[in-house]
Structure formats: structure tokens, C-alpha cells
Amino acid sequence: MDAAINLKKQKRRKLLTPYLLILPGFLFVFGVLGYAVLYGTLLSLFDMDLMKAETGFVFLDNYIYLFQNAAFLNSLVRSLIFVFGSVSLGLVLSLFFALSLYRATRFGNFLKGLALVPYLVSGIATAVMFRFLFSGDVGLINQVLITLNLDAVNFLAHPNWALFVAVLTNTWFIVPFATLILLSGIQSIDPELFDSATVDGASKSKVLTKIILPLISPMMGISLVWLSFASFNMFDVILPLTGGGPNRATEVLAVYMYNVAFDELKYSLGSAVMVIILIFNVATSALYLKIFNTDD
Amino acid sequence: MLAKIKWKLSEKMYIIPLIVLVIWTVTPMIWAFSASFKTKVEVYETPPTIIPNLMNFSNYMTVFNYDHFWRYLFNSTFLAITSTIIAVVASILAGYAFARYAFKCRHLLLMLILIPRILPRASLIVPLFAGISMVGLADTYLSLVITYTATAIPMATWILAGFFKVIPKSLEEAAAIDGAKSWQIMWYVIVPMSLPAILTVSIFSLREAWNEFPFALAFTQSQEMRTLPYQLFMLRDSMGMQDWPVVLAFTIVSILPLLILYLIFEKRVVNGITSGAVK
């Protein structure tokens, strides 16, 4: 009798074990991140403003306000340009780098290691270094322009140039990880495929477009998700580089949200921007994975 | 013959992107590194010097003598190490459960834990800050440790679960027959066998916490609570006339510890990513 109860107890304990094992991790993830999403969504439906006493349920008013607000619309457009620029430049560079790293025999490991270095540098440090590189008076780029007898450009004081520099800085920061993801895709291709293709007289570009690109398309999807995800939410690089300026030219959504919430203390409006950023992220990720992950 | 030369040339063409890669990667860093040894005046010289006229460490001394500099260094180190330890332990447990147990809703739960990977960190600061101030945790280490840990767990769990799956089950079964308890199996069999993966995961987590900026900016107010990236941001903000060499020396100091760690384990990290474990 006792033995039977014991056995039952043991069995129940065995059933519970996996749930107990995942409990701490889930508590952290959902206690913090899940909470933030739910509470943020809720906040966005209310009118919570530290400057005003009353708070009330306003449903979609915050969203309607945003889409009629010139500063928000400007930031949305700037974000889209910023993301589009970073993702296209980032994808081209990381594909180039990954393909050449795959071919590199001498110093191959050293170069792979070097390629990842910017991934270890913080967004703030990246921004400071690029600010120095492109600064009006002491920047290397301007020093080179002057040495070549060209006119110096005050990059960060010019709206369009500043956005361009922001894209470049962001790309430097996000390309390494995408490069290694693509490299992992190329490395997993059976080398015999290349050999037989070359024997059959396939040209370089044929090998690239007919073998490599189709086979690494899942990895392309993942690196695109990474590139656009990192760009959409970019905050660390922009704030020290340009602070959103000049004239709001680089005020991407994350920076706009920070200013609304922490400078103007409009939490509800900030939360509404959060929800919009989240929707963009989920939508673009789903789109890329649908396009590139056809066989899954 | 001509075709052969052409082929040979194109064989070597991959060198060009590699050169671009090296220039692209190192230029900002070399330029910053060299300027961190220059004097305030030398920075303005045209044409620029790559090797400073005179190696001068005074910028670094200025950085080390800043008010609270050692406190910032301590904050960054402490936060990175604590959050990494908690995150890695929680992820080993969860990863083991996903790799070895067939339990209800397993796939759903694994998907759920991955969703936060598409949650942007910066965008969460508004509701998180509201919640943190509500429970009175604003301006504390705890608020940062908890949030850093939470953001590190999803990826760590995912990588570790994938790694545990390929460890042969027979080892654990043998240990179980010898009478080892579950926690003993985990500690003496699983953990030693997955040290490479645990190391990779730890470096990712250390990197996240060491470089983190939006949470530190939003959740702390007092000066003693700042981390190195936060202070670097303030430095750039507060100096009207930029003292570039000092700012760049601070930048180098904030990058270097992680870079050294990376140099030690570089092969492991690169293989960890290129073996396809990270997705």
C-alpha cells in the first residue's frame, strides 16, 4: 500500500520536474518582458500623463493623435529610410564579406575573428568613434577631403548627411553578426556541389545565383530579421551620434519614443509608439521568414 | 590562354572584399585608438597623423582620475557578471528540460520563450520604467540585474537546449544506474560536457550587459549608478568644447575588457555562431 503511494508520488514528481526546471527562466522572461508588453499595450489605451492628475481610458486616441502628429510622422518616415538604408547596405556588405571569408584560406580564422569585433563594441562607443570620424573639424573623412583639395563637409550638421552617417554607423555595428550567420549557411553547403558545378562548366555568377543563394536562403531570412530588427530599434547609436538632430532628421522611432516618454513625460503616448514599433518588428520578421523559408 | 588568366584573376578576386572588410572594420577603431594618445592640439593637425607624435598617456590618466570612474567600472562589471550567472543557470535548467523531457506544451513553451527575441529592448523602457518605479526599484542594481537577466535568457536557453540534445543519452543512463540523482547528473555529466556552449552563451550575455545602454539610462538617476557606456554618453553630452582625446581614451577603456575576453575565447565564439547554433 505504502509502496504504491510512494510510486505514485515519484511518478508525479517526475511529471513535474520539467516544469520546475523551466520555471526560473520563464519567471524572468515573462515577469519582465511579458509584463512590459502587456502593461505597455494597456498604458497605450489610457491617458497617463505625469503632468495631469486624471487618467482615463481613451481607447485608440493616442494612436489617432500620433498619426496626425507631424513629429511622429516625420520620425516614422525617417525610421523607414534609416531601416531601408541599413538593411540594404547591411545585406550587400554581409553577403560580400561572408562569400569572401568562405574563400579565404590564409588568415581565414584571423579574418573571421576580426569581422566579428564590431559586434563586441557597444553602440555608444561605436557612435562616439563615428562622430569623431565624421566630425566637421577633426574628422578623418574631412581631413582626407581637405588633403584632396575638396571642400570639407559638416556631416552631422546637415540633415541628409547626418542620416547617411547614422545609416553607415548603424551598418558597421550590425553587419558582423549578419556576416557570420550567412557564413554559417555557406559553410553548411556540401563542397562537392561546387566542384561538380565547376566541372560542368558553370560560371562564377551561375554558382552564386543557382547554388549558393537558394541554399542559404533560410540564413538570408534570419540575417534580414536581425538587420532590420536591430535597425528598427536602434537607440544606442543614434542618441550619442546626433541626438536625433539636426532638425529631427535622425529622430527614428525609438528616439522619438524616448523623448516623448522621458522628456515630455507622456508615458501613454510613448507606450503607443512601443506598440507600433512591435507591430513593425513582427510584421517584417514574418514577411522575411515567409519569403526565405519556403521549404520549412 | 586568355580564359585561363581571366579565371586565375577571378580566383583571386575574393581578396578585394577581404581588404574592404579589414579597412571597414578597423578604420574607426584605429583612428580612435591613435587619437586617444594625442594631445588636444595634435588632433586638429592637417594632414592627420596616424602614429601620434608623442605617445602620451595623460588622457588615460585623466579618465582613471575621473570622479566615480572606478565606481562605473565596478557597476558595469558587477551587473554583467551577476546577470550572466543567473541567466546561464536558469537557461541550463530550462534548456535541459527542453532537451530531455517530453512534457505537455513543450513546443509551445519553447516558442513562447523565443518570442522575446523579437522584442526590441529600447522600446520596452517605458512600461518597464513605470513598473520599476511602482515597486520602488528605480535607481537600484536589482532593477538592472533583473532586466538584464530576462533579456539574456531566451537566446541562452535556445542555444543550450540545442546543444544538450546532441549529448548522448547513454552517459546519463549509466550515471543513473550508478545511483546518481538528477541534479548530480546535471552537474557532473551535462555541465562539464557542454562547457563550450556554456562559454559561448556566457560571452553573449556578458556582451549584452556590458554594452547595455537604454535600461541603464532610463532606470537609474544617481550618478553613482551609471555604467561605463552611460558615462561615455554623458561625457559626449556635457563637454561643450569636445576634448576628443580624453573622450576617445574613455571609449577605448570601455571597449577593451570585453575585447580581451573575446580574444581569449575568439575561436569558440566564432565557431559557436557559424556552426548554426545561433538563430
What dihedral angle (degrees, nearest 10) is formed by the CA atoms of A190, A192, A195, A199? Answer: -130
Longest CA–CA span in chain A (Å) reads 97
Residue A296's pLDDT is what? Answer: 42
Residue A121's pLDDT is what? Answer: 93
Longest CA–CA span in chain B (Å) reads 78
Q: Are residues A118 and A15 in the same domain?
A: no
In a domain? residue A236: yes
On whether any CB of chain A is under 8 Å from the CB of B187, the answer is no
Q: Which residues of A touch B122 (CB under 8 A)?
A: 233-236, 254, 257-258
Number of domains making up chain A = 2
Q: Stretch B86-107: mean pLDDT, rounded?
A: 88
**Residue B40 C-alpha, separation from nearest chain A C-alpha, in angstroms:** 10
Q: Are residues A85 and A114 in the same domain?
A: yes
Q: Please check whether residue A161 is in contact with residue A155, taking contact to mean a CB–CB distance below 8 angstroms.
A: yes
Distant-in-sequence, close-in-space partners of A193: CB < 8 Å, separation ≥ 6: A211
The one-letter code for the residue type at B263 is: L
In a domain? residue A33: yes
On whether any CB of chain A is under 8 Å from the CB of B154, the answer is yes
Predicted complex ipTM: 0.87
Q: Please check whether residue A28 is in contact with residue B89, taking contact to mean a CB–CB distance below 8 angstroms.
A: no
CB–CB contact B232 A147 (8 Å): no
Give the residue among B123, B146, B77 at the shortest CA–CA distance from A43: B123
Q: List the domain range (segments joined by +) for residue A8.
A: 1-44
Q: Are residues A239 and A134 in the same domain?
A: yes
Residues A59, B49: Cα–Cα separation, whole Å: 60
| More confident position, B252 or A66 | B252
Task: Look at the block and give the residue holding cell 520599476.
Answer: B132
Q: Are residues A22 and A154 in the same domain?
A: no
Residue window 47-86, chain A: list those with CB within 8 Å of chain B: none
Residues A45, A40: Cα–Cα separation, whole Å: 9
In a domain? residue A50: no
Cell of A240: 550619442
- Which of the four pLDDT bands, split at 50, 70 and 90, describes residue A118? very high
Residues B270, B157: Cα–Cα separation, whole Å: 19
CB–CB contact B147 A126 (8 Å): no
Q: Stretch B69-90: mean pLDDT, rounded?
A: 94
Instruction: Kindly provide the b/e burial profile for residues B30-40, where b requires at least 16 CB atoms within 10 angstroms of the residue's own CB.
Output: ebbbbbbbbee
In a domain? residue A57: no
Q: Are residues A77 and A39 in the same domain?
A: no
Among B48, B123, B262, select the one facing A274 at the smallest CB separation: B123
Q: Are residues A83 and A4 in the same domain?
A: no
Residues A22, B236: Cα–Cα separation, whole Å: 42
Check which CATH number belongs to the domain holding A88 and give it. Answer: 1.10.3720.10
Q: Are residues A132 and A192 in the same domain?
A: yes
CB–CB contact A25 B153 (8 Å): yes
Domains present along chain B, CATH in parentheses = 78-274 (1.10.3720.10)
CB–CB contact A180 B93 (8 Å): no
pLDDT digits (tens, 9 = 90+) for A275-284: 898 888 888 8
In a domain? residue A3: yes
Residues A152, A95: Cα–Cα separation, whole Å: 32
Q: Are residues A32 and A166 in the same domain?
A: no
Among A195-204, B50-59, B154-163, the range scoring the smallest mean pLDDT is: A195-204
Q: Are residues A105 and A220 in the same domain?
A: yes
For residue A146, give Cα distances in angstroms to A138, A152, A153, B40, B52.
11, 6, 10, 20, 20
Q: Are residues A40 and A84 in the same domain?
A: no
| SS3 state at A232 | helix
| SS3 state at A167 | helix
On whether any CB of chain A is under 8 Å from the CB of B256, the answer is no
- Which of the four pLDDT bands, split at 50, 70 and 90, describes residue B10? low
Among A61-65, A91-95, B3-7, the range scoring the smallest mean pLDDT is: B3-7
Residues B180, B144: Cα–Cα separation, whole Å: 37
Residue window 199-238, chain B: list those with CB within 8 Å of chain A: 207, 210-211, 213-214, 218, 229-230, 232-233, 236-237
pLDDT digits (tens, 9 = 90+) for A39-84: 888 888 877 665 555 567 777 888 888 888 888 888 899 999 999 9
In a domain? residue A56: no
pLDDT digits (tens, 9 = 90+) for A140-193: 887 888 778 777 788 888 888 899 999 999 999 999 989 988 888 888 887 777
Q: Which residues of B touch A273 (CB under 8 A)?
A: 123
In a domain? residue A129: yes
Tell me the percentage of chain A whose pLDDT exceeds 70: 93
Tell me the percentage of chain A whose pLDDT exceeds 90: 17
Q: Are residues A31 and A144 in the same domain?
A: no
Q: Are residues A74 and A40 in the same domain?
A: no
A97 pLDDT higher than 60: yes
A:B CB pairs within 8 Å = 280
| More confident position, B221 or A265 | B221
